[in-house]
């Protein structure tokens, strides 16, 4: 993964790398060991985590540092003198929805890809009686018991953990813009769940961790389908349907994707609620749109498996038309899609909740993707190239 200010290329995960969390050593003293543990063995591309921009406040400011590759929840025991201090770490990926957003809330399928950038969480036993979460990029410290959303999210996760557990101190480093359709909040939920699983020796598969972390997502998103959490935990390219096991999709060819931020932030909770109101008022029209989108998703899965990028691009365009019909596009997203197509993209669409956030374009190959990204970077505050299914 190479990173520059407004030009970023990210790895798109091709699958999960599960290892079983080891049993935690008990802390033999309360010494804080601030060794360089927070990144574990993941390759860091430089920059201090504290320099990362607050994603929700400034979605267009590129975070200063990104890391390559997901890592499974793991526990590290750090020695200082005769003391041992366990630190548990985990990663949650960002994601892009290739096709099928919104319909997926109502039980239709969605095709999605996990990103190589996301959220790192570190958990340790707390010296105080309080359960605390610190979101470094935003400089927020929240204690369970307060009505701060991060505290409510942590509380929801902790409620299913052992009742005789010790208090915890959790830190998260967020490398994704919030309100951008890239699954920032789900990635935090998965990373926090993973770090606590490792701290308390709870064994879960990646998919189970995605399911469990829906507790977190419900605090932020009301009625999440679960696709963001599943992708944050498992990655790769996959077909998701609410309540069913995630279905891995083998891409015959990597999918060269360009991601560009519209510069407009949007709230998934509000946009999902807006679509629900439309559906209440015009059930047939909205359900027909979802049926049509579901047909596109199923064809897109076949196109990915066959390596037919041209067909996949056309399906992107058709999906975008249907999403625009649900009032989910914006002038800026339309402009970015138009520019991408003029530059040779095979198709382009919004990704995630829409009404702002990011769009994605499918390129013929990586070189074309880079050229399209350069054109979009003139109009977008944040652009990435991602090779899905590579």
Contact status: 177 vs ligand MEV (CB under 6 A): no
Q: How many residues bind ligand MEV (CB under 6 A)?
A: 15
Of 98, 119, 118, 114, nearest to 14 by C-alpha is: 114
For ligand MEV, which residue of 97, 176, 198, 219 counts as binding (CB under 6 A)?
97
Contact status: 369 vs ligand MEV (CB under 6 A): no
Contact status: 319 vs ligand MEV (CB under 6 A): no
**DSSP label at 15?**
S
Contact status: 224 vs ligand MEV (CB under 6 A): yes
For ligand MEV, which residue of 225, 265, 266, 383 counts as binding (CB under 6 A)?
225
Contact status: 102 vs ligand MEV (CB under 6 A): yes
Min. distance of Cβ 73 from ligand MEV in angstroms?
Answer: 23
Contact status: 355 vs ligand MEV (CB under 6 A): no
Q: In this structure, what token pair is assigned to residue 45?
A: 């591309």
Distance from C-alpha of 351 to C-alpha of 112, rounded to nearest angstrom: 10
Contact status: 265 vs ligand MEV (CB under 6 A): no
Of 83-91, 96-104, 308-316, 366-374: span binding ligand MEV (CB under 6 A): 96-104
Min. distance of Cβ 189 from ligand MEV in angstroms?
Answer: 12
Contact status: 272 vs ligand MEV (CB under 6 A): yes
Distance from C-alpha of 243 to C-alpha of 246, rounded to nearest angstrom: 9
Which residue among 175, 228, 308, 368 is the active-site one? 228
Contact status: 188 vs ligand MEV (CB under 6 A): no
- CB count within 10 Å of CB 209 equals 27
Contacts with ligand MEV in 35-64 (CB under 6 A)? Answer: none
Torsion angle in degrees (nearest 10) through CA of 46, 51, 53, 57: 160
Contact status: 322 vs ligand MEV (CB under 6 A): no
Strand 255-261 and strand 383-388: pairing?
antiparallel
The two most distant CA atoms of the chain are separated, in Å, by 69
Of 67-75, 97-105, 160-168, 329-337: span binding ligand MEV (CB under 6 A): 97-105
Contact status: 178 vs ligand MEV (CB under 6 A): no
- CB count within 10 Å of CB 292 equals 17
Contact status: 211 vs ligand MEV (CB under 6 A): no
Of 32-40, 102-110, 204-212, 318-326: span binding ligand MEV (CB under 6 A): 102-110
Nearer to ligand MEV, 225 or 320 (CB): 225
Distance from C-alpha of 100 to C-alpha of 354, rounded to nearest angstrom: 12
Contact status: 104 vs ligand MEV (CB under 6 A): yes
Distance from C-alpha of 45 to C-alpha of 62, rounded to nearest angstrom: 14
Min. distance of Cβ 353 from ligand MEV in angstroms?
Answer: 4
Contact status: 343 vs ligand MEV (CB under 6 A): no
Distance from C-alpha of 181 to C-alpha of 58, rounded to nearest angstrom: 14
For ligand MEV, which residue of 125, 195, 214, 227 counts as binding (CB under 6 A)?
227
Q: In this structure, what token pair is assigned to residue 183?
A: 């699954």
Residue 228 annotated to the active site: yes
Q: Which helix (H) or strand (E) element contains residue 299?
A: helix 283-306
Of 10-18, 54-62, 98-106, 303-311: span binding ligand MEV (CB under 6 A): 98-106
Burial classification of residue 269, based on how many CB atoms lie within 10 Å of its CB (0-12 exposed, 13-18 middle, 19 or more buried): middle
Min. distance of Cβ 272 from ligand MEV in angstroms?
Answer: 5
Distance from C-alpha of 292 to C-alpha of 130, rounded to nearest angstrom: 50
Q: In this structure, what token pair is assigned to residue 118?
A: 């996301």
* Distance, C-alpha 10 to centroid of its chain: 13
Length of the chain: 390
Write phi, then psi, for 319 (nearest 5 degrees): -60, -40
Contact status: 268 vs ligand MEV (CB under 6 A): yes
Distance from C-alpha of 125 to C-alpha of 270, rounded to nearest angstrom: 36
Burial classification of residue 67, based on how many CB atoms lie within 10 Å of its CB (0-12 exposed, 13-18 middle, 19 or more buried): buried
For ligand MEV, which residue of 64, 326, 353, 376 counts as binding (CB under 6 A)?
353
Residues that bind ligand MEV (CB under 6 A): 97, 101-102, 104-105, 181, 183, 224-225, 227-228, 268, 272, 352-353
Active-site positions?
228
């Amino acid at each position: 993964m190479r990173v520059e200010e407004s030009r970023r290329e990210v790895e798109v995960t091709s699958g999960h790398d599960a290892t079983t969390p080891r049993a935690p050593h008990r802390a033999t003293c309360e010494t804080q060991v601030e060794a360089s543990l927070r990144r574990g063995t993941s390759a860091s591309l430089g920059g201090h985590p504290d320099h990362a921009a607050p994603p929700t406040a400034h979605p267009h400011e590129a975070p200063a540092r990104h890391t390559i590759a997901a890592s499974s929840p793991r526990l590290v025991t750090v020695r200082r003198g005769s003391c041992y201090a366990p630190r548990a770490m985990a990663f949650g990926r960002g994601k892009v929805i290739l096709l099928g957003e919104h319909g997926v809330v109502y039980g239709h399928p969605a095709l999605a890809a996990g990103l190589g950038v996301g959220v790192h969480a570190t958990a340790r036993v707390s010296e105080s009686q309080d359960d605390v979460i610190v979101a470094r990029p935003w400089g927020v410290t929240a204690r369970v018991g307060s009505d701060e959303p991060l505290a409510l999210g942590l509380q929801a996760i902790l409620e299913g953990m052992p009742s005789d557990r010790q208090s915890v101190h959790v830190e998260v480093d967020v490398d994704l813009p919030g309100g951008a359709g890239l699954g920032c909040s789900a990635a935090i939920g998965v990373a926090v769940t993973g770090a606590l699983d490792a701290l308390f020796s709870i064994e879960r598969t990646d998919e189970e961790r995605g399911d469990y972390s829906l507790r977190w997502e419900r605090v932020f998103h009301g009625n999440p389908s679960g696709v963001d959490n599943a992708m944050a935990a498992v990655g790769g390219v996959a077909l998701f349907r609410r309540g069913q096991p995630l279905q891995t999709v083998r891409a015959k060819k990597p999918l060269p994707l360009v991601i560009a931020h519209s510069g407009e932030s949007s709230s998934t909770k509000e946009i999902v609620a807006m679509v629900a109101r439309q559906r209440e008022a015009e059930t047939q029209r909205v359900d027909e749109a979802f049926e049509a989108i579901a047909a596109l998703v199923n064809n897109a899965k076949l196109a990915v498996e066959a390596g037919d990028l041209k067909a996949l691009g056309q399906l992107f365009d058709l999906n975008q038309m249907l999403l625009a019909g649900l009032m989910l596009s914006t002038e800026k997203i339309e402009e970015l899609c138009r520019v991408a197509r003029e530059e040779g993209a095979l198709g382009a669409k919004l990704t995630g909740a829409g009404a702002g956030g990011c769009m994605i374009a499918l390129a013929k190959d990586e070189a074309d993707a880079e050229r399209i990204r350069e054109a979009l970077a003139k109009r977008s505050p944040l652009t990435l190239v991602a090779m899905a299914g590579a």
